[in-house]
Amino acid sequence: MPHTHRDKNKLINRVRRLRGQLDAVERVLENEEHSCTEILQQIAAIRGAVNGLMFEVLEGHVRSHVAVPEPDDEQAADIDQLVAVLRSYLK
């Protein structure tokens, strides 16, 4: 998947941030220091971050593998609409 190689550092940084968020939740649960609300907010943030990572890979896939190399204006607009729908769905 050439698009993942091209965006490798960006994707790895997202995964590292996710790992940090997960580690923080684990520490909180082990130490029982925070309220359920704070933990749930952290989990919601992790979910958002995972969806963001999913969107980055999915958008690259659509643009690199689903679209023809030189889309016409109509197809380009369709691809942009698909990407917009996916972005809003994964938020």
pTM summary value:
0.73
- Give me 76's structure tokens: 């380009």
Question: Taking residues 61-88, what's their average pLDDT?
Answer: 80
Helix axes 73-90 and 36-61, enclosed angle (nearest 10)? 160
Q: What tens digit of pLDDT does each residue of 17-47 get?
A: 999 999 999 999 998 777 889 899 999 999 9
Nearest 10 degrees: Cα torsion 66, 12, 88, 75: -20
Q: Which helix (H) or strand (E) segment is 54 a member of?
A: helix 36-61
Question: Taking residues 82-89, what's their average pLDDT?
Answer: 86
Domain spanning 2-90: which CATH class is it, in words?
mainly alpha
Q: What tens digit of pLDDT does each residue of 42-62 get?
A: 999 999 999 999 988 888 888
Residue 83 scores a pLDDT above 60: yes
